[in-house]
Structure 1
């Protein structure tokens, strides 16, 4: 049986996937969520540390793995999954899909800052940016769980691109106020398969059952 390894985006802890994991469990799928070192509390390191945490989680699984990465999580997941024989599929959910020598900053065309040893602020209105279509009580809880995020992993450049050798799917969020749909379309071109979901940036909170159904369909199609 395959296991979903879930990689959160910036400012988010593994608990952000609790609703999605419940839906996956109901469909008979095992899952685990990774804690990224660059995401607080007590954030440290950069892209390499995040990638190491993901690789450690993947290699600890006894069996095939599907890596599901959200937003920033697509960057360390792309680095981490390269060369691991038990990774059978990469799934990018409104996520960055970097190539070798790219970073989040280069993808956005932003020059590297003079000092990357600091924190990147979440922004003044995370509800609108991240959770516009999330039920109010769920959004309130999600906002209360946001943590610090280091700048360093956004500057660090990828050295390996797993999507070049591993099958991949891009799940594009059509009402996203955080990661522009046009940019998602550009990155989705690097995947073999593209699905769409009519949500904002966080479908694992706004429509966890629908997202789980998409993930389930990917597994079933691979097995067919």
Structure 2
């Protein structure tokens, strides 16, 4: 314990953000470290955030730091959080690592960031996703229209896509897959298929599954 900073030790014992208060949640597991985060967001801004853990450990101070640094954060701030910033925040002195010779769980922070961004996005979209839903028996044409309208009027109007100056477009719909492209909303240049992270694409896939009532259809980014 002596190799850890006094700040991370102090924060690991704090209960300011401990709990399950929030409308949505997601779990992060990386670097042999696991936690579940709960949050409420409105128009891309965090209104509350908390966490629960399975055991008491010094590394829990990292969770406190994440919640402190992202309190009332907007999408831009969420995207900017890094393991380096969190580790620096936990140091007592600038030249002494917060966890001494122990490796800082950077992969955990990176995973947290991606899951937080995609979870906030999905939670906001799901609030009225039923407005865009069509029945499972709907025609092929109706399903195409439902997805296209959902992308144009809902997804592309979301704060995240507006800030990224990005649009998603349905290219093709098949029985087991729907194909999409990402384009710049400024000059309509096609963007790379990996423009969004896998966890974000998974969120989009789940949303479209809800819209057309199909649990087996998969998203393919081209």
TM-score range, shorter chain: under 0.3
More strand by share: 2
Length-normalised TM-score, structure 2: 0.25
Q: Greater CA radius of gyration, 1 or 2?
A: 2
Higher relative contact order structure (alpha carbons within 8 Å, sequence separation ≥ 6):
1
Taking structure 1 as the reference length, the TM-score comes to: 0.25
